[in-house]
Amino acid sequence: MKDYIKVDEWKIIEQGFNPHYNKISESIFSLGNGRMGQRANFEEAYSGETLQGNYVAGVYYPDKTRVGWWKNGYPEYFAKVLNAANWIGIDIVIDNEQLDLAKCKVSDFRRELNMKEGYLKRNFTAKTANGKLVKVESIRFCSMAEDESGAINYSITPLNFSGSISITPFIDGDVINKDSNYDEKFWDEVKKETWLTGGYLQMRTKKTGFEVATGMELRVLQNGKLIDLKTKPIEKEKYIAAQVVLQAQEAQTISIFKYAANLSSQNHAAGELAAKVKETLSRISEKGFETLLAEQAAAWAEKWKHNDIIIEGDDSAQQAIRFNIFQLNQTYTGEDDRLNIGPKGFTGEKYGGSTYWDTEAYCVPFYLSTADPKVTRNLLLYRYKQLGKAIENAKLLGFEDGAALYPMVTMDGTECHNEWEITFEEIHRNGAIAYAIFNYTHYTGDEVYLIDYGLEVLIAISRFWSQRVNWSNDKKQYVMLGVTGPNEYENNVNNNWYTNKLAIWCMEYTMEVIEKVKRKDREKYEALIKKLNFDEVSETDRFTDIIENMYFPFDEEHHVFLQQDGYLDKEQILVKDLPASERPINQKWSWDRILRSCYIKQADVLQGIYFFEDEFDIETIRRNFDFYEPRTVHESSLSPCVHAILAAKLGDEDRAYEFYLRTARLDLDDYNNDTEDGCHITSMAGTWMAIVQGFGGMRVRFGRLSFQPFLPEKWKSFSFNIGFRSTLLNIKVSKEGVYLKNLSGTSTSVMVYYKEQFVRANDELLVEA
C-alpha cells in the first residue's frame, strides 16, 4: 500500500517527485474522453521508468497467441488496444542540454488531476547539470466537447539565465506495446505532412488495417505575446516535428499551445483522414485553449450534475468515490455501440483493453442509474451485433443449432483469451450477458428491446446451456462438468453452483420473455423463430426438463450451497489463519498449491446470491456469506463490492464499510501493487455499487425504486443522484433521516424502509430516521 496521494475532495494531488512511483502516477492521472485517452506521461523527455500510453478507442491488433500446446478451438490471437502515436511530446533543449527529469534536480513538483473540470496540471522547477534553473507548468486534457481532440498549454520560464531554448513539439508513431507477444511493432506509416505551425502523421495497423491520422497545430507566446512562428519542420519515419529556437529572457515565460487531433478510420473514410484532421485542427486552434478548457469544464459539470456522490465527514472517501466516477466517465460515454469498457480503460495495456463480462456484471448498474438509457442500451447492442461471432465460437467448440457462447475476451466478438481453463470453461460469462438484458429492461421498462434484439440473444444463450449440460445416470439429474466459476482459483470443476444457477435462470428468463414478446408483437415473434429455426415446443420442453432436474451441490451440515462438487474435500484453513507473509497467494504460492486450496479469489456462490437475492431468505444469505467470506482472499478487484452489498443487506455495517474501503482506494493507494499497469476501471463501478446498493440499499421492486439505507459511522451524510424512468432523484442519508429530492418535472413514488413515499415534481421531503 502506498500513501503519497494527497487528500482533496475534487483533486488527485501528487506533491514531490518520486521516480519509483512514476508509473503508478501515470496510471492514476490518466485522461480520456471515451474516444481516446492517455497515461499521464510527461510532455518533455523522460529517460526514467515509464510506460508510454496513448490509445484510440476501437483500434486494436490481433497479436498471435503464444502458447506451448495448441488445442482445438483455441483462439488464434489476443486482441489488444494499441499504444498509438504519441501526440503530447514537446522536446525542450536548454543551451544544448535536454530537459529530462531523470537527469535534473527536481523541486516544487506537483501533479494535479482536476476531476471537477477534467484536466491534468503539472508544475515543477528543474535544475540542469549546467546549473540552468527553469520553472515549468503544463495543463492538458482530452476534450469531451471535441472528442477527437486534445490540447496542451506548456509554459517554461528561465529563472536564473537568459539564453537559447529549443522547443520541438512532435508526433511519434514509432511506438510499441509493452505486452507484445513477439516484440512486434503494430503500425505502418501511410503518409505524413508538415507545415510551419504543425503537421500530421497517418498510420495503419498491421493485419486489421485501421488507419489513424494524428495531427498537431501550434501557437507560441513569449512574454504574453503571440510570436510569428517559423519552425523548422522535421520528418522521419513514423515521426514529424516542428522545431523553433527562441532566445529566452530571464523571468519571461514562453508558452507553447499544442492542439492535437486523433481521427480514426472507424469514424471517417481512410482517404479523407488527412483533410479531416486538418479541418479539426483548424477548428480547435481557432477556438483557442481557454475556450476549449471552458467547454471541458461545462461538459464535466453536466456529468457531475447527474452522477456525483457527496460524502460529508470523510474527505478520503469523498476523493476516492469521485476518482472512480471520473475514470468511468472518461472511459466510456455510450455514444458509440461499437465500443465497450476494457478493464484498464485508457490507463494501461493489461488485459489488452478488451471487453470482459465485467461490463455486464458491474458497469451496467452504474450507467443505468447515472446516464441516459441509450448508454446502457448501446452496451447491450454491442453484444447483439456480435451474436453471429458468439454462435461461431460455440460451433468451434462443438455446439450446434444456433447455440451461442460469448467470448471471455473480445474486441469484435471473436474469442481471444488464451488460457484454456478460461476460454473453454469460464462459461458463466454467457449468463452475465443475459442478466444484463434483464437488468436493463427491469430498470428502464424498455421491453421493445426484448422484441427487437434481446430475445434473439437469450434463445441463443439458452440453446448453449441446454447442450452444455448432460444427464447423470448416477445422480438422476442434469449436471455441468468441467467449468471454471468466477473464482478462478478453481479450474475444471464439476457443478459450479453459480454456473448451474445462471444456466437454469437463463432458460427460465428466456421462456418468460418468449411469452412476453408473443403477447406484445406476435408478428415479430413469428419472424424471429423462423429466422432462428426455433422449435418452441420441443426446445422449451427441453429447457423445462433441465430446470426441473438440475443438480445443485449442497452441504447438509453447514446448510450452504457448495461452490462445486468436492469443495469440502479441501483442507479448510480460513484466510485469517494464513500468515501475512504468504499473501497475496497469487504472488507467493505455486498454481498447483492454489488449486488445491479452499481459497476463493472473488465472489462465486455469493455472486449468484447477489444476482438473485430475492430468491433467498435472509438466513440463507447469512449462512452462505458467513461460510464463504472467511475463505475469500479478495485477490480480484471485483470481489469487495459484492461482499459490501451483501454485508449491508445483512445489517453488518462494519464489514460493509471495510469492504467498501478495500475497493474505493484500490488504485489511489496501490493496494495490490499493480496500479502501475493501469487502473481497475470496471471494478470502479463496483465502488459506486457499494455505496448506492450497499449503504443506500437501492433496488428496483415492482417497477419503482426502493431504498434501505444506513449511514456509515464515520460519515455525517452521503447523497447520490439516481436517474430512473424519466425522473432524477437526489437521495441524501443523514443522522436526521433520508431526504428525497425530485429534480425532475415528473412526480414519482419510492419505497423507503418498506414504506411508500410520494415525491412531487421538483419537490422534496424528509423521511425521519
Q: pLDDT band for position 495 (50/70/90)? A: very high
With CA atoms as reference, report the closest residue to 429 among 392, 465, 481.
Answer: 465
Confidence of residue 71 (pLDDT cuts 50, 70, 90): low
Give, as one character, the DSSP assignment of residue 632.
B
- Cell triple for 245: 529556437
Spatial contact of 707 and 749, defined as CB atoms under 8 Å apart: no
Nearest to 630 by CA among 609, 647, 648: 647
Across the chain, what does the average pLDDT equal?
95
Cβ-contact 585, 599 below 8 angstroms: yes
pLDDT in tens, 127-173: 999 999 999 999 999 999 999 999 999 999 999 999 999 999 999 99
Q: Judge whether residue 74 has pLDDT over 80.
A: no
Confidence of residue 203 (pLDDT cuts 50, 70, 90): very high
Interval 10-30 mean pLDDT: 97
% residues pLDDT > 90 (the chain)? 90
pLDDT digits (tens, 9 = 90+) for 87-114: 999 999 999 999 999 999 999 999 999 9
Mean pLDDT along residues 628-653: 95
Residue 422 confidence (pLDDT) above 90? no
Q: What is the pLDDT of residue 68?
A: 61
Task: Report pTM.
Answer: 0.96
| pLDDT (0 to 100) of residue 69 | 63
In angstroms, the CA 237 to CA 611 distance is 53
Query: Active-site residue 488, yes or no?
Result: yes
| Measured distance CA(317)–CA(171) in Å, rounded | 39
Percent of the chain's residues with pLDDT above 70: 99
> Which of the residues 488, 539, 629, 635 is marked catalytic?
488
Model pLDDT, residue 667: 94
Query: pLDDT category, 70, cuts 50, 70, 90?
Result: low
pLDDT tens for 552-578 read 999 999 999 999 999 999 999 999 999
Report the alpha-carbon distance of residue 263 to residue 451 in Å, rounded: 36
Phi/psi of residue 407, each to 5°?
Answer: -70, 150
pLDDT tens, position by position, 341-369 = 988 999 998 877 688 889 999 999 999 99
Residue whose C-alpha is closest to residue 480's, from 552, 545, 542, 539: 552
| 726, 745 Cβ separation under 8 angstroms | no
Between CA 664 and CA 223 the distance in angstroms is 44
569-614 confidence digits (pLDDT tens):
999 999 999 999 999 999 999 999 999 999 999 999 999 999 999 9
- Asked if pLDDT for residue 416 goes beyond 90, the answer is no
Per residue in 228-247, pLDDT (tens digit) is: 988 999 999 999 999 999 99
